[in-house]
Amino acid sequence: MDKINFDFKNRTAVVTGGAQGFGLDIAKRFLESGGKVIIWDIDPKMIEKAIQELNNPNLSSGVVDVSNYREVEENVNDITKKSNIDILINNAGITGPTAPLWEYDIDMWKKVVDINLMGTFNCCRAIVPNMIQNNYGRIVNVASVAGKDGNANASAYSVGKAGAIGLTKSLGKELADKNIAVNAVTPAGAKTRILDQMSKEHVQRMLSKVPRGRFLEVEEFTSLICWLSSEENTFSTAAVFDISGGRSTY
C-alpha cells in the first residue's frame, strides 16, 4: 500500500511513548513528512535506539515520565523557549497486569491510571497554553477500544482509556473556537510490544472480537494519526475515531 503524502514542514510535534511501537512509527512518518519531532519516553535505552534507527537531524528527545507533571512542565518550558509545539500525540501508556478487579494490586492500579489518564492530562495541561498563544494545534490522544467496551481483567487499563476519551471530548469543546483540534483514536489490538505484556489467553480473546480477523498493522494506525494531526483536519474535534477492524464501531 502506497503511503499518502502529508505536509508537516515548519511543524513541531511531541510524541509521548515515542521510542517504540506506535509512537516510533508516528515519529518516523512525521519526520519523513518534513516535521520536527521530539520523542518523550521513560526508557533512555529505547530512546537511544530510536534515535539511531531514525537517524534524522530533525529528531530530538527527552526522558520524561508523563505521570509526573513537573517533569512534563519543565520539558515543555525548555521546548517553547526555542519553538512552538504544534502537534501533541499522547501515546504513552501501559496495559498493566490482567486480574479480576477485586484481586487487582492497588499500587499497579494507580500506576496504570496515572500513566494512561493523568499522563494525557499532564501533557495537555502543559502544552495547550502554547497552542492557544499560537492559535494552532493538533492533539491526538491514543485511547483504546477497552475505553469504550471495557476489557475483562483489565479494569485499570479500561478506566484509564475511558478517561482519556472523556478528556478528549471536554478539551475539544473548550478549544473549539480556536484553530486547535483535539481527537482520540481507539485501536483494537495491534502488533506492538504491548501485546508482550499480556497473557496468551488475553491476546487470543482480544483477537476473537475483531471481525477483520487480524490485529491492526502499525502503519494503518499511523496514517489515521497523520490525518488528524495535519492542517487538512480543519473541522473534526472532540471526536473519537475507531480503528478496531469492526469491533467497536460507535
What is the DSSP track for 16-65? Answer: ETTTSHHHHHHHHHHHHTT-EEEEEES-HHHHHHHHHHH--TTEEEEE--
pTM for the full predicted model: 0.94
Return the pLDDT at 210.
86
All domains of the chain, ordered by start, with CATH? 12-187+217-243 (3.40.50.720)
* Listed residue (250, 248, 184) closest to 216, CA to CA: 248
What single letter denotes the amino acid at residue 124? C
**Computed from CA positions of residues 28, 113, 217, 246, in that sequence, does the dihedral angle turn out positive or negative?**
negative
Integer Cα distance of 16 and 146 in angstroms: 20
Per-residue pLDDT for the chain (250 aa), expressed as one digit of tens each? 567 789 999 999 999 999 999 999 999 999 999 999 999 999 999 999 999 999 999 999 999 999 999 999 999 999 999 999 999 999 999 999 999 999 999 999 999 999 999 999 999 999 999 999 999 999 999 999 999 999 999 999 999 999 999 999 999 999 999 999 999 999 987 766 667 767 788 788 878 888 898 889 999 999 999 999 999 999 999 999 999 898 887 7
Q: Are residues 218 and 22 in contact, defined by beta-carbon separation less than 8 angstroms? A: yes
Return the pLDDT at 1.
59
* Listed residue (79, 108, 76) closest to 95, CA to CA: 108
Return the pLDDT at 240.
97
* Listed residue (81, 84, 83, 109) closest to 96, CA to CA: 109
- Phi then psi for residue 70, to 5 deg, are -60, -40
- Cα dihedral 111, 29, 196, 143, rounded to 10, equals 40
* Listed residue (67, 73, 196, 175) closest to 131, CA to CA: 175
Which residue numbers are catalytic?
A: 157
Return the pLDDT at 19.
97
* Listed residue (180, 15, 209, 168) closest to 93, CA to CA: 15
Return the pLDDT at 194.
65
